Structure 1
């Protein structure tokens, strides 16, 4: 193949007249091959002892948030039971097979692929039976052996009417339930994790307010529907039965035992909800409407979160009103005679009822009441928000939705998100003692200039989004704001839990080094 020419150190390659191969070329080629072999062996050794960035990105642990949508009945239409969770010990074969079904998406396509563990809060949610949550809603018909709706479209709507005002339990549960669905476009503040050990908080999906409204009250209408022999205790017993079952479940669960409930979140927004057991479970973080009917050790602003009512009047969209087109100066429509702190309503009624440009009347029931309140608030400059049986009422949030500047007369009121929002920029606060001075309220409000009122009205247009409950949620709406308020409680809760672990009988270092004792 190779031909050596006499008297020369060159070799010629047949068919290439002008191409000659010198001995030096051969030596250099051989040396290059040796270098490549050595470099290849070195590279192979490094790969076997380290994991490239691309490989780490697709490791089993990082895929679990995505794989979970395939294994949880709450997020897919298949028949996999909810209790069959994705495990951290999944073998490589399972991961590879699952990858074929997971659409991770293009990083540049701008479409979110669901929340992940980088969300602000990692939350574990108990898989309580449907009777504790969506099962209370008649539109929901769970399949036998299933707990949650099969997909987001099957989440039933919350009951209408006044029930809606105490519905944060529903919106938070629905948001958390869908927190890691693919293509989720809602904000990722709270993310549902598989194991309670990995969670910042443990969420209890009990619709306590709906339970009270559905089972905790007996009305004449219920007696008619059930027949004259129906016992008054039937509905009350159902509400208390659920509370007792919940306590039994929680106190046996290792997640509760690990922190004595201090990292648990429960929504008890209706002031009468969870009455039978809320003192027993008071270590939990409660989401409430106010603190009017609680002992200080049971609920307080230090450990708990105030959530807004869901307004029942429609949001005033495309509001082009002005100071001069809103002809009524002061508006109030509702119950005038109330107990305890609500006594101020009757006294103010006597002071304001005969004033011109003031609408102060008792409430109107049924749909006509909603229509008249909507018209009245939208045509008024100021809306009175007075203490009732409790310091708060839904009227404040109807005022905000109607862009009627709230006038708050409730000395003990705690407001939602006040550590994040300056209510004084869009509300007027009046001390109850001053409010009862003849002429004080009406003179103060009549002296507010057009420019001052317009500034507060414009701020209402900006902040109203913070009080909107919706599914799916959007950035900085009421759902998102409640999660953020819960997140702000986390450092203090962790501090309390860690302090209590100082003198544990079996501290973590002893368990890890010496084994169980």
Structure 2
């Protein structure tokens, strides 16, 4: 590739993985202005823009999934890229692929689905050249490509966590962790005279309390957190009205509980961040987005399952947490919350911009993997 790595981008929308349509260049150089105590200097010395190429395939592999009534096969362009529909409900939290695709369209250019797509990719000279190592698959639904993941284990995957992925398929070394798209509205006018005293609830949670795997901790919290006057712990479903109630509750609470769900992460963490409610994370195996650039300990508290399930321990820790320390965390949340916003058109330093920069950090590893695969004469001994 003559010193330049080109990434071929295929989009996953909701559960399936579709393809996309343009050639463009993104400038993802850092624009950070925040304090170095929370934002680390980017380690990537190469300041050249990241070049991203997308496959030119029919809409049924991408935005066509948003509206099954539209049977148009022509590739989508910036002129007819649809707005995210209001009636998609829970699907919004898994819509990272939509915003990433929109960022490329806006940046300029030429403008069983999963199985069909893999057949098309297998015929591509670009896929064959690298074995898919320089391809990106956004897969932010935990069941995306569930039965075909072994075909993607060389590619970069954009995931929200690794809860349902074997280590040989997806891991931190080659893949990128994305935030969920938050449900609640962002708190844009959070300017009280005394933010600590204005938030009268100590700890807040509204959501599903019966979950699989480590998410069983939520059911246990129902008993452990009962009887505390300053704690709101309530079972709820994600309806429009309940989302509004959750937003109101988060904005009036000092701390927002984020226990593990069916997988280690959930949308609730990012709802708390954009509500400027200090996250209390109880998820032993959680991986967090942008962690090479953002220090979560500056605005979040972490408890192990063992600590959180000890009666009274977590509440006592929160009640004794110094007001000055909490206020500094609240300020940090206000400073970094824009990194968890998804926009179309994209905005500088938003979540999509951050994701592209994370992908750029993977380029040296991609180069090594591609070059190494091209010279091996026997099966890779590291995979035995």
TM bucket, shorter chain = 0.7 to 0.9
Distance 1:257 1:391 in 2: 34
Q: 1:246 to 1:464 in 2, by over 3 A?
A: same
Counterpart for residue 51 of structure 2: 122
Separation in structure 1 between the aligned mates of residue 68 and residue 251 of structure 2, nearest angstrom = 33
The correspondence for 1:456, drawn from 329, 332, 337, is 329
Mapping for residues 214-363 of structure 1, pairs under 5 Å: 241-321=112-192, 322-363=195-236
- 8 Å CA contact 2:21, 2:75 repeated in 1: no
Q: Shift of the alpha carbon at 1:365?
A: 4.6
Matched, 1:476 2:349: yes
The answer on whether the counterparts of 2:215 and 2:262 sit within 8 Å (CA) in structure 1 is yes
- Distance between the aligned counterparts of 1:461 and 1:263, measured in 2? 35
Q: Which residue of 2 aligns with 1:53?
A: none
Q: Which residue of 1 aligns with 2:361?
A: 488
**Once the 2 structures are TM-superposed, how far is the Cα of residue 138 of structure 1 from its aligned partner?**
2.2
Structure 2 unaligned blocks of 5 or more = 1-19, 24-46, 379-384
Q: Residue 39 of structure 2 corresponds to which residue in structure 1?
A: none
Distance (whole Å) between structure 1 residues aligned to residue 22 and residue 309 of structure 2: 62
Q: Does 1:158 align with 2:84?
A: yes
- Could you give the per-residue CA deviations for residues 473-505 of structure 1, whole angstroms, max 9, x where no partner exists? 111100000000000011011111112223469
Measured after TM superposition, the shift of residue 386 of structure 1 is: 0.3
Give, in whole Å, the separation in 2 of the partners of 1:456 and 1:127.
Answer: 45
- 1: CA distance, partners of 2:238 / 2:74: 39
Greater fraction helix: 1
- The aligned counterpart of 1:368 is 241
Q: Note the alpha carbon deviations across 1:57-101, whole angstroms, 9 max, x for none.
A: xxxxxxxxxxxxxxxxxxxxxxxxx9999xxxxxxxxxxxxxxxx
Alignment deviations for residues 143-192 of structure 1 (CA, whole Å, 9 cap, x no partner)? 6x62113x34x211123322111111111111112222xxxxxxxxxxx6
TM-score under structure 2 normalisation?
0.82
Question: In angstroms, what is the RMSD of aligned CA positions?
Answer: 2.2
Aligned residues of 1:243 and 1:276 also touching (Cα < 8 A): no
Q: Which has the larger radius of gyration?
A: 1
Q: TM-score, normalised by structure 1?
A: 0.62
Q: Give the superposition deviation at 1:137.
A: 2.0
Structure 1: tracts of 5 or more residues without a match? 1-81, 86-117, 181-191, 195-240, 506-517
Deviation at 1:119, TM superposition (A): 5.3
* Structure 1 residue runs of 4 or more that deviate by more than 3 Å after TM superposition: 82-85, 139-143
2:96 to 168, 189, 192: 168
Q: 2:374 is matched with which residue: 501, 506, 509? A: 501
Match of 1:384 in 2: 257
Separation in 1 of the partners of 2:375 and 2:64? 42
Q: Secondary structure at the match of 2:211?
A: coil
2:22–2:110 Cα contact (<8 Å) kept: no
2:287 pairs, out of 410, 414, 423, with: 414
Query: In the aligned structure 2, how far is the partner of 1:441 from the partner of 1:453?
Result: 15
Provide closer, same or farther for how the CA distance between residues 267 and 122 of structure 1 changes in structure 2, counting only shifts above 3 A. same
Contact 1:139–1:156, Cα closer than 8 Å, also in 2 = no
